[in-house]
Amino acid sequence: MKSMSYAAVAAAVALAAALSAASPAAHADATGLALAQQKNCMSCHSVTRPIMGPALHDVAARYAGRDDAVTYLKRKILEGGTGVWGTVPMPANTQLTPDQAASLAAWVLTLK
């Protein structure tokens, strides 16, 4: 009986170690999504389908080849804009810091 409880504890420790050793990319994905949810990006965007704004997957595909993609998207996130994806304007996101906008832009570009 005791050996089974030790085995269960060992399995739990092994699982916790495996989960904590997740790749940096997985951590960045989780962090990017959490920031997008926290800052209400997901009110108008979805990762896979258009809502009011384009799907973030489509944004990543459109700008994947641009050398200045992170800088460009950071500016669009902070300042907003209209006409690039249709007639619905994207409002300026004044609640974001420039570093947060850059993190979001970099995360979006990983979604291609």
53 touches 44 (CB < 8 A): yes
Q: What is the pLDDT of residues 13-48, one digit of tens each?
A: 444 444 444 445 555 567 899 999 999 999 999 999
All structural domains of the chain, each given as residue ranges with its CATH number in brackets, are 24-109 (1.10.760.10)
Q: How far apart are CA 106 and CA 98, in angstroms?
A: 12
Spatial separation of the C-alpha atoms in residues 15 and 91, rounded to whole Å: 43
| 68-104 pLDDT per residue, tens | 999 999 999 999 999 999 999 999 999 999 999 999 9
Helix (H, G, I), strand (E, B) or coil at 90: strand
The answer to whether the beta carbons of residues 112 and 60 sit under 8 Å apart is yes
Rounded CA separation 100/65 (Å): 22
